[in-house]
Structure 1
């Protein structure tokens, strides 16, 4: 099954706002991050992650997140463990819309009929992410680890800038969703 719309974008750029708007219109949505968390919580997957990344079996997500943020090799190893399982679990859903933050980085361009990129200015992204994490240096590190927004926009079927009020973003999403098709 192919999804109708894949919503992507960098961390703290407003993907949730777009997905929530689509859900309010009746579109069935699924988050790749949520599915990946479920996949990663399975005991055999936790064991494989711990063994591959030399972590204690009782590692917590914060330790794992820090490890992959600091070590590109660890990030690649984690992705090789989780991506196939996560995509398989996504396809098992009945969703119309899939939210995939790392769509391009994971090479999932054909996951949906349309790819929508959500973006904002680097200044707003840094502000939002610093508020979320409480650490500007860590926020910069996370931002640097992702593909730049202009590249994602260039590869997308549609993009929306979330530097504007939430209501304006929602209006743009509603208009585009009506053109994309009804759920």
Structure 2
């Protein structure tokens, strides 16, 4: 019987690297961030409610969502972050659920969801895997990847459940403090076990 596997982690923990490797190995990975981008794309289904909640200046001259401006608001204001999540998350869930039902007939399905535990979606999964790094590594990678200040990086990390807590709640965890090769080796072991279930 095929499994629904929740894949989570923290910002800049390496979850995308894991997702990409799983896809290369032929697994179906449904990425919540990709669905989020669809809902918030130009003329996407979430845009009217986002304009209503955050004002017209959240849209740039091309009619696109100004993600940097929105990010600076929501990562520093828990109330605004909650408001955005209430708009976007139901739309994401609807799209992901439809695809999950389609693909689970063909094989294991990984749900790549950063806020898996925060939104109680771990309860829908047969297994949960968390990709983790230590806090210093996470801050350094985020500063480098997103060209942020240390304060901005800390604010984004603090907006999520601590990785140590996610690891405790998981069935399996992947340590991404080392090399990519070491991460892939852990992932290979996990998928071998998965296929033997």
TM-score by length of structure 2 reads 0.85
Displacement of 1:110 in angstroms is: 2.0
Residue 127 (str. 1) matches residue 127 (str. 2): no
- State the match for 1:20 in structure 2: 20
Query: Partner of 2:40: helix, strand, or coil?
Result: helix
TM-score by length of structure 1 reads 0.92
Map Cα deviations across residues 15-36 of structure 1 (whole Å, 9 max, x no partner): 0121122112210112101101
Map Cα deviations across residues 34-85 of structure 1 (whole Å, 9 max, x no partner): 1011012244421111111234362411111111111111101111111111
- State the match for 2:125 in structure 1: 112
- State the match for 1:45 in structure 2: 46
- State the match for 1:82 in structure 2: 88
Q: Which runs of 5+ in 1 are unaligned?
A: none
Query: Partner of 2:126: helix, strand, or coil?
Result: strand
Deviates more, 1:104-113 or 1:31-40: 104-113
Deviates more, 1:119-128 or 1:3-12: 3-12
Q: Which runs of 5+ in 2 are unaligned?
A: 60-64
Query: Partner of 1:105: helix, strand, or coil?
Result: coil
The alignment's C-alpha RMSD in Å is: 1.8
Query: Partner of 1:7: helix, strand, or coil?
Result: strand
TM superposition outliers: structure 1 runs of 4+ over 6 Å: none
Distance 1:62 1:140 in 2: 16
Distance 2:156 2:58 in 1: 25
